[in-house]
Structure 1
Amino acid sequence: MHYLRAALQAASDLLGRIALVCMAFLMLATTVDVSVRAITGKPISGIFELSELAMALIVFLGLGWTQLDDAHIRVTALSQLAPPRVRRLMDALSWSAAAAALFLLALPASEDAARAFAIREFRWGYIEFPIWWAKIALAAGLWFGTVQMAFAAISALVGQPSAVPSTDTPAGMTPEFRNHG
């Protein structure tokens, strides 16, 4: 289980760093595009198309860090009242449902990515921009999320935390409040 946790951490870090690069691009490109548009009255060709892809990649490739930090938004009022054993079962059930939902999204996304790659799909806009690579990245992010959620469900069943304990809790805030408040 330790090796799987370490592999998930490494993959999550890689995908998270790619998401950060996409976010940095999105912020910089949008700022430059708005500035150029204000000065010249014309946008920079391709920024809009790349921004669309960057937003999607930020969400799906950043899922891993959110899962490892145990930072998904959730309501725990009912589970906090349950005995520990029932709470673990409830957590396992909810993570299993999340894994199933991501699996149901990953299947058609993978089929679409394979089709997009086969035809080298592109998007029309100011420029003709290839999008097949982004569809592959999104499908990979969904499959990774599915594996992470399934791992969290198994971890909950056996009573091990699936998240890495965070050391970045703001002053005056308990980890319980940060994770569940």
Structure 2
Amino acid sequence: MIDRLDAGMRKLSAAMAVLGGLALAAVILSTVVSVTGRGLIPIGLKPIRGDFELVELGTGFAVFAFLGWCQINRQHAAVEILTMRMSAGANRFIDLVADVMMLGAALLITVRHGQGMLDKMSYGETTFILQYPIWWAYAAGLAGAVVFVLVCMHCVLLSLHALVTGKARESGGAVQ
């Protein structure tokens, strides 16, 4: 059961990370095209209208899209110099505490981001040049934030299972 859940969470977080990567690739491409257009104005080219607004949207989404993948693979910062001499049980407990704290942070970020999105929707605020509603950018980021929360919940379950069973959870993997 836990292996199937882990496989599903890995696929979900990987899919979100791929979407984030595609968003960054689109941001890079649009920036190259826009800068090239600026440089070649004398021959009739021009920059992409609202390029910086597109960069803000794509980059914001990408940041949130990568969080779940980073969490499920245990790639957040760790200070192992303090824990490398501790027992396996103590390390499993520390992993659980860290995962619970990350879940708390993910929930806070997601709730506040969702509230910000609702505020932007109610104001009807749009970007200056392209005039797209600002809440669209918030909604895109919120999708990644929700996946981050789900992955954090999953990681808490994995760490709890590892603590209870005494079986080590490999870095970036399910309980062994």
- What TM-score do you get using the length of structure 2 for normalisation? 0.82
User: Which segment drifts farther, 26-35 or 65-74?
Assistant: 65-74
Inter-partner Cα distance in structure 1 for 2:71 and 2:142: 17
Match of 2:139 in 1: 136
Gapped regions of structure 2 (runs ≥ 5): 163-168
Does the Cα contact within 8 Å between 1:113 and 1:132 map onto a contact in 2? yes
Match of 1:170 in 2: none
**Aligned pairs (5 A) from 1:24-173:** 24-40=25-41, 43-117=47-121, 120-124=124-128, 126-159=129-162, 160-161=169-170, 163-164=172-173
Does the Cα contact within 8 Å between 1:151 and 1:162 map onto a contact in 2? no
Does the Cα contact within 8 Å between 2:96 and 2:159 map onto a contact in 1? yes
The alpha carbon displacement at 1:86 in A equals 0.6
Match of 2:24 in 1: 23
Residue aligned with 2:84, SS: helix
- What TM-score do you get using the length of structure 1 for normalisation? 0.80
Inter-partner Cα distance in structure 2 for 1:100 and 1:20: 26
Work out the number of aligned pairs and report it.
Answer: 164
Identity of aligned residues (%): 26
Gapped regions of structure 1 (runs ≥ 5): 166-181
Inter-partner Cα distance in structure 2 for 1:49 and 1:91: 39
The letter for the 1-side match of 2:82 is L
CA offset digits 1:8-46 (Å, max 9, x no partner): 122112211210111111111111111111111753212
Does the Cα contact within 8 Å between 1:155 and 1:161 map onto a contact in 2? no
CA offset digits 1:38-68 (Å, max 9, x no partner): 1117532121101011111111101222223
CA offset digits 1:56-112 (Å, max 9, x no partner): 111110122222333222221112221000100011101111110111111111122
Does the Cα contact within 8 Å between 1:109 and 1:135 map onto a contact in 2? yes
User: Which segment drifts farther, 72-81 or 28-37?
Assistant: 72-81
Match of 1:173 in 2: none
User: Which segment drifts farther, 45-54 or 150-159?
Assistant: 150-159
Between 1 and 2, higher relative CO (CA 8 Å, sep ≥ 6) is seen in 2
Does the Cα contact within 8 Å between 1:123 and 1:129 map onto a contact in 2? yes
